[in-house]
């Protein structure tokens, strides 16, 4: 079983200036592999302003800064990569926009077929979910942990588990072979702050991996 790491998604709405110190707390709370900026229903300039504030904080800590949905803006603003869904830019167009060296991740819901297509096309990771009920991005897809097990045995491309994941329920996904656990509210809504949320998740991942 490969080491599982934490992948954090931002809330869908935020003010960059007030969010910046919360991001610093989260990233200083423990190991984080990636931060995905996922803003919904905002204009391009709003996204650019958020990137300008949050990207340097993230990259200075050797954490990959991934933009959701917009390969063009990711390339323009110096992001490390982009995450695209099935209804966003197709993988080939996203790859062309960000270049060969950037990260491109693809949402694959609960589909082995979509994931294999993305991996064979060159995706850097595939994302499965939602594994648990979530209000952040409601999904009628509900894969079983066995999907992660099958993927990790069959393919070398990393997989991300997403959807309602917390420190309390992540163990089956870690043990099934998820390379990354993607969380939102488990960090940003943690009662003791985002740093404590990251610490708790890392401890839970480590405990699950240990047995």
- DSSP code per residue over 100-152: TTSEEEEEEET-HHHHHHHHHHT-SEEEEE-SS--SSS--S----THHHHHHH
Does the annotation list 202 as a binding residue?
A: no
Mean pLDDT of 59-78: 98
Does the annotation list 135 as a binding residue?
A: yes
Does the annotation list 93 as a binding residue?
A: no
Does the annotation list 69 as a binding residue?
A: yes
Helix (H, G, I), strand (E, B) or coil at 55: helix
Mean pLDDT of 127-152: 93
pLDDT at 140: 87
Distance between CA atoms of residues 147 and 168, nearest Å:
20
pLDDT at 2: 67
Does the annotation list 55 as a binding residue?
A: no
Distance between CA atoms of residues 42 and 29, nearest Å:
29
Q: What is the pLDDT of residues 158-210, one digit of tens each?
A: 999 999 999 999 999 999 999 999 999 999 999 999 999 999 999 999 999 99
Does the annotation list 37 as a binding residue?
A: yes
Does the annotation list 160 as a binding residue?
A: no
Q: What is the pLDDT of residues 81-139, one digit of tens each?
A: 999 999 989 999 999 999 999 999 999 999 999 999 999 999 999 999 999 998 877 78
Does the annotation list 48 as a binding residue?
A: no
pLDDT at 136: 79
Mean pLDDT of 75-84: 98
Q: What is the pLDDT of residues 27-62, one digit of tens each?
A: 999 999 999 999 999 999 999 999 999 999 999 999
pTM of the model: 0.97
Domain extents in the chain: 5-210
* Confidence tier at 16 by pLDDT (50, 70, 90): very high
In this predicted structure, the answer to whether residue 73 has a pLDDT above a threshold of 60 is yes
Does the annotation list 40 as a binding residue?
A: yes
Nearest to 164 by CA among 185, 179, 148, 192: 185
Does the annotation list 199 as a binding residue?
A: no
Distance between CA atoms of residues 49 and 51, nearest Å:
5
Does the annotation list 77 as a binding residue?
A: no
Mean pLDDT of 135-163: 94
DSSP state of 43: -
Does the annotation list 73 as a binding residue?
A: no
CATH code of the region 5-210: 3.20.20.70
């Amino acid at each position: 079983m490969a080491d599982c790491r934490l992948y954090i998604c931002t809330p869908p709405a935020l003010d960059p200036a007030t969010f910046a110190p919360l991001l610093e707390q989260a990233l200083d709370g423990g190991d984080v592999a990636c931060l995905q900026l996922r803003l919904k229903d905002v204009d391009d300039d709003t996204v650019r302003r958020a990137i300008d504030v949050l990207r340097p904080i993230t990259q200075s800590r050797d954490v990959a800064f991934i933009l959701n949905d917009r390969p063009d803006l990711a390339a323009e603003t110096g992001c490390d990569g982009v995450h695209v869904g099935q209804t966003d830019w197709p993988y080939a167009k996203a790859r062309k926009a960000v270049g060969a060296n950037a990260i491109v991740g693809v949402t694959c819901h609960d589909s082995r077929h979509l994931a294999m297509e993305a991996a064979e096309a060159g995706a850097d990771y595939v994302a499965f979910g939602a594994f648990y009920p979530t209000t952040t991005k409601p999904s009628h897809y509900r894969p079983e942990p066995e999907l992660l097990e099958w993927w990790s045995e069959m393919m070398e491309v990393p997989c991300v588990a997403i959807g309602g994941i917390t420190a309390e329920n992540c163990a089956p996904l870690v043990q099934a072979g998820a390379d990354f656990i993607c969380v939102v509210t488990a960090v940003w809504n943690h009662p003791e702050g985002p740093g404590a949320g990251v610490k708790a998740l890392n401890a839970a991942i480590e405990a699950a991996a240990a047995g």
